[in-house]
Amino acid sequence: MIDPTILITYIAACFLFSIVPGPSVSVVVANALGGGTRAGLLTILGTEISMFSMVLIVALGLEAVMAVVAEAFTIIKLIGAGYLIWIGWKMLTSSGELDLHASRRMSARRYIWQGALVNWANPKTLLFLGAFLPQFVDLNRPAFEQIMVLGLIVMAVATVTDALYAFASGQARHLLSAARVRLVNRVSGAVLICGGVWLALQRRA
């Protein structure tokens, strides 16, 4: 059982980590604006599936896994950067016209895959979890179970904060004009493009 004091500190840290908008939040907001709350929530499902896989990797042993992944780090990084830039460009060039029935016709699989790919597009997330989660592990107890519990907690917090963005954006889409949606898409697109460029320029630690 995790010490309550440590648990409160950990949850607070998870909240701060999750509430700051990043590439994943930008995609959630953009999809919720374009396809409604459902589209945003499906995107979140994709991001959480990818995050669970990252937590599992950390729990199984980050050092052992990274010994293999590190050789392909540059390729993973560049592919991820390119994907972020591509999505950002699509947002920048979107018309801003909202189809209120788009979420009914759009494949749920598309939103889920997009959320998962955007999250996996940044291998720094895996490295962050690898550095963050072990800080709260009791070395006198088996690490696997602790890391999985800690990982599920950060996923739960991220789901709540991202869902708030999705619900707010899904409701706001009915109040926004095409010009305002286009502005939001351009800001989100610029964030993703900058994130992709930044990721491409990062050197492996």
Pair 91, 30: CB distance under 8 Å: yes
The angle subtended at Cα 188 by Cα 185 and Cα 194, nearest 5°, is 135
Q: What confidence tens digit (pLDDT) does each residue in 110-144 have? A: 899 988 988 887 766 777 787 777 777 776 777 78
Per-residue pLDDT, 65: 54
Q: Kindly tell me if the per-residue pLDDT of 46 is higher than 90.
A: yes
Q: Kindly tell me if the per-residue pLDDT of 70 is higher than 70.
A: no
Could you tell me which residue, 85 or 150, shows the higher pLDDT?
150
Q: What confidence tens digit (pLDDT) does each residue in 141-151 have? A: 777 888 899 99
Q: CA gyration radius for the chain? A: 18
Q: What is the mean pLDDT of residues 87-92?
A: 75
DSSP 173: T
What is the distance between the alpha carbons of residues 173 and 180, in angstroms, rounded to a whole number? 10
Per-residue pLDDT, 176: 57
| Alpha-carbon distance values, 163 to 77, 131, 167 (Å) | 27, 26, 6
Structure tokens at 49: 């599936």
What is the distance between the alpha carbons of residues 113 and 136, in angstroms, rounded to a whole number? 31
What is the distance between the alpha carbons of residues 112 and 94, in angstroms, rounded to a whole number? 21
pTM: 0.69
Q: What is the mean pLDDT of residues 23-31?
A: 82
Pair 79, 199: CB distance under 8 Å: no
Per-residue pLDDT, 62: 54
117 HSE (CA, 13 A, CB side): 16
- The pLDDT mean for the chain works out to 76
